[in-house]
Structure 1
Amino acid sequence: MKTSLYWNGDAIIAVDQRVLPREYRLLRITSMDELIDAIQSLAIRGAPAIGLAGALGVALSAHLHQAAGDTDAAAVEADAARLAQARPTAVNLAWGVRRALGRLADGPEAVLAEATAMLEEDAAVNSAAVWRAADLVLSLTPKRPLRLLTHCNTGRLATAAVGTALGTIVELAERGCVAEVLVDETRPLLQGSRLTAWELCEAAVPYRICVDSAAAAAMTQGLVDCVLVGADRIADNGDMANKIGTYALAVAAAHHGIPFLVVAPESTWDRTLPDGSGILIEERDPAEVTHHAGMAVTPVGAGVYNPAFDVTPARLITAIVSEGRTVAGGRAGKPDTPAGTMVTTSP
């Protein structure tokens, strides 16, 4: 099974997602500063992937401090705290760090064993969610080859293996159920047109790049049977944060009566937040918008609003699918179900 992130000897190995699709390059990460930079610069990205990178980072820190003769847990805990804050929106990062840190008292090898076990679990978790989501898509859509739309990148690059929403699309294609995938370009860093398109090429799934602002028009023209996206944090009521532009897709899908499905592991749920209003939204460097390929494309001094994520309310979501359950959103509830109420179905 192809993987985008693993441990090798004394280092973390990761696909450098900044240079795809023009170059396939592996990063060898041997320090905490390198790992934090890789996460913040989006060399490693995708909520599940950065959670796993966080776990591997704790293992890396434990091994580095042991090699330096420093057996004080406080040093590793300080590294872990810094790592957990590298990106604030995705809950998986803090989850991965916390889980690996829980084995620190048993020594560096125990921490590494926990982190590598999480990599294996990730593939199994994603596979289970993908099967469940693919079955749900087929139950909600016409009985013909489907036209699907997705946003950002939720494949194996965003996880350790398989993927979530994109994994579901590939699974549907392997079942012979996909006519075409519209891939939102996902501005400003083009995770869709650079990464998702690359993964669909690898899987030989037919696709076209969709200008972000053209998605609603595509729905009007009957080019979309279902929208599939991932999530970076899901509040207790089912409100969820995902790549900027997701909320607009959900509004358009609701207007056109198109299923809007979220595929994400249970680790993405944040039960400490009652609703999406408490999700901290990361704002990124204005240069991501004002420059392209190193060249300025806006007037000097232009102000920029560049949030990395937005929050989609539960009332606009048809269902959230994880490895163990399908949670119906406000759009899928019974007529007497209040908008936004999430209803869990049996596994």
Structure 2
Amino acid sequence: MSGLQAIRYSRGKLEVLDQLKLPHEHHYDEVSTSEEAFDSIKSMRVRGAPAIAIVAALAHGVELHNGSCKAPTADETISYIDSRLDYLKQSRPTAVDLTNAITHLKTTARGVDVSGKENSASGRDAIIDAYITAAEEIFRKDTETNLLIGEHGSKWLLQNAPTKSTDGKVSVLTHCNTGSLATSGHGTALGIIRSLHSAGHLNHAFCTETRPYNQGSRLTAFELVYEKIPSTLITDSMAGALFALKKAEKNIAAVIVGADRVVRNGDTANKIGTYSLAVLAKYHGVKFIVAAPTTSIDLHTETGAGIKIEERKAEELTQISGAVVGKDGKVDVSRTECVATAHQGIDVWNPAFDVTPAELIDAVVTERGVVVKGNDGSFDFKHIMPERWAEIVGS
């Protein structure tokens, strides 16, 4: 396990690593209310679908623990929890982990037996305790899930790699950040890379800078260096040239990405630029792997056409902020400057995500195993999540 932690938690206290200050400074913000969690998520001080869900769930748990709910009855307590969770849901609408966590937490609150205590403080307290326990379990279970994704994904890739070095090693490319900083620990797509490396099967990892927010250059590159994983940073537009010129030399076997939402047929929403990488991978005979916990699989939405894509502010494209580099080449973390990278009057379109069609994806790796495409070009998740499938889709 990595020593990096995006989230530090003990009952009644939540701290979130401000990822906007990485890689130059480690600073944790204390998050004690739903409003502070919303701002942390919306501003992208915390990001990554699993981490977003965890922070939202735990933040409301912290405010409940600290007495924010004054409702006198069980029904009013449930209404209060619902209203806070509905508010948090709007912080990042594309990430389905948040929606699934909220649904689970609402169900948990409603499932508490308060017979004879409906109109007393003890009924309220029982519901709150059940909520906090469920939120903590979401946090704990995420780490377990990530380790299983790393195990399943690395094994599948080694068995199906189109190219390997003479000693059986592979190289991979990843996009955005999907490691310890985006989850409770280990990571999803980066977790597979970490598992390959720890087992001695990784030759080299390439990471894109992931414009316009640079999660790859700021965060993934930081994690790879921190873990001493052999790695190289490229710009997003270099991927095609990398495959054309370095595939054979470096034994580039796969693109491995995370997911903010995988819908029923396998279409996947992920950080903008993922779709382009899938097209390039297909052309160059490179496997394209999506690493996603089952909490990121949305069985309600049939195809990618039903995914709401968040659009972000123009300044993310036309401006950039960062720590100042002095004439001596040293980074001064006490000085941050914002500079213009484009004409400030230009019209901007800035979608945060794109949708990769299922036909371009070779495998979806979950904690319950690897799912590959059927003959019709779509994915069938029925066998890895039969209960949810029966509940939502039917037999």
Contact 2:32/2:59 (<8 A) preserved: no
> Are 1:289 and 2:291 matched, yes or no?
no
> Are 1:82 and 2:87 matched, yes or no?
yes
Distance in 2, matches of 1:238 and 1:305, equals 26
> Are 1:167 and 2:191 matched, yes or no?
yes
Q: Which residue number in structure 2 is paired with residue 99 of structure 1?
A: 104
Q: CA shift at 1:9, angstroms?
A: 4.4
Q: 1:96 to 1:345 in 2, by over 3 A?
A: closer
**Which of the numbers 306, 318, 323 marks the counterpart of 2:362?**
318
Distance in 1, matches of 2:175 and 2:220, equals 9
Q: How does 1:66-81 map to 2 (within 5 A)?
A: 66-67=67-68, 69-71=70-72, 72-73=76-77, 74-81=79-86
Q: Which residue number in structure 1 is paired with residue 329 of structure 2?
A: none
**Which of the numbers 206, 219, 225 marks the counterpart of 2:230?**
206
Q: How many corresponding residue pairs?
A: 340
Deviations 1:17-50 (A, max 9, x none): 1111011111111122111000001111101111
Q: CA shift at 1:58, angstroms?
A: 3.0
Q: Which residue number in structure 1 is paired with residue 244 of structure 2?
A: 220
Distance in 1, matches of 2:382 and 2:348, equals 40
> Are 1:55 and 2:57 matched, yes or no?
yes
Deviations 1:120-145 (A, max 9, x none): 11111111111000001111223423
Q: CA shift at 1:53, angstroms?
A: 1.5
Q: How does 1:327-342 map to 2 (within 5 A)?
A: 327-329=371-373, 333=374, 337-342=375-380
Q: CA shift at 1:100, angstroms?
A: 2.3
- SS where residue 103 of structure 1 aligns? helix
- SS where residue 204 of structure 2 aligns? strand
Q: CA shift at 1:4, angstroms?
A: 2.2
Contact 1:326/1:344 (<8 A) preserved: no
Q: Which residue number in structure 1 is paired with residue 333 of structure 2?
A: none
Q: Which residue number in structure 2 is paired with residue 16 of structure 1?
A: 18
Q: Which residue number in structure 2 is paired with residue 192 of structure 1?
A: 216
Contact 1:15/1:44 (<8 A) preserved: yes
Q: CA shift at 1:67, angstroms?
A: 4.7
Deviations 1:60-119 (A, max 9, x none): 34334x356344322332111010111110101111122223333533222111111111
Q: Give the partner amino acid of 2:70.
A: G
Distance in 1, matches of 2:267 and 2:51, equals 21
Distance in 1, matches of 2:384 and 2:231, equals 33
Q: CA shift at 1:342, angstroms?
A: 4.4
Contact 2:188/2:291 (<8 A) preserved: yes
Q: Give the partner amino acid of 2:363.
A: A
Contact 1:325/1:344 (<8 A) preserved: no
Q: Which residue number in structure 2 is paired with residue 131 of structure 1?
A: 151
Distance in 2, matches of 1:138 and 1:68, equals 51
Q: Which residue number in structure 2 is paired with residue 122 of structure 1?
A: 142
Contact 2:31/2:59 (<8 A) preserved: no
Q: CA shift at 1:151, angstroms?
A: 0.1
Unaligned runs of 5+ in 1: none
Q: CA shift at 1:301, angstroms?
A: 1.6
Q: CA shift at 1:146, angstroms?
A: 1.8
Q: 1:68 to 1:275 in 2, by over 3 A?
A: closer
Superposed CA RMSD in Å reads 1.9
Deviations 1:258-300 (A, max 9, x none): 1001111000010001111000000011111111122222213
Q: CA shift at 1:54, angstroms?
A: 2.1
Contact 2:49/2:182 (<8 A) preserved: yes
**Which of the numbers 260, 272, 293 marks the counterpart of 1:232?**
260
Q: CA shift at 1:344, angstroms?
A: 7.4
Q: Which residue number in structure 1 is paired with residue 331 of structure 2?
A: none
Distance in 1, matches of 2:68 and 2:99, equals 25
> Are 1:299 and 2:343 matched, yes or no?
yes
Task: Between 158-167 and 174-183, report the one with greater CA deviation.
Answer: 174-183
Q: Give the partner amino acid of 2:185.
A: A
Distance in 2, matches of 1:343 and 1:116, equals 27
Distance in 2, matches of 1:266 and 1:220, equals 34
Q: Give the partner amino acid of 1:327.
A: V
Deviations 1:152-192 (A, max 9, x none): 00001111111001011011011111221111000011101
Distance in 1, matches of 2:53 and 2:234, equals 29
Q: Which residue number in structure 1 is paired with residue 207 of structure 2?
A: 183
TM-score (norm 1): 0.93
- SS where residue 19 of structure 2 aligns? coil
Structure exhibiting the larger radius of gyration computed from Cα positions: 2
Contact 1:328/1:344 (<8 A) preserved: no
TM-score (norm 2): 0.82
Contact 1:152/1:185 (<8 A) preserved: yes
Identity of aligned residues (%): 36
Distance in 1, matches of 2:58 and 2:280, equals 39
Distance in 2, matches of 1:77 and 1:182, equals 42
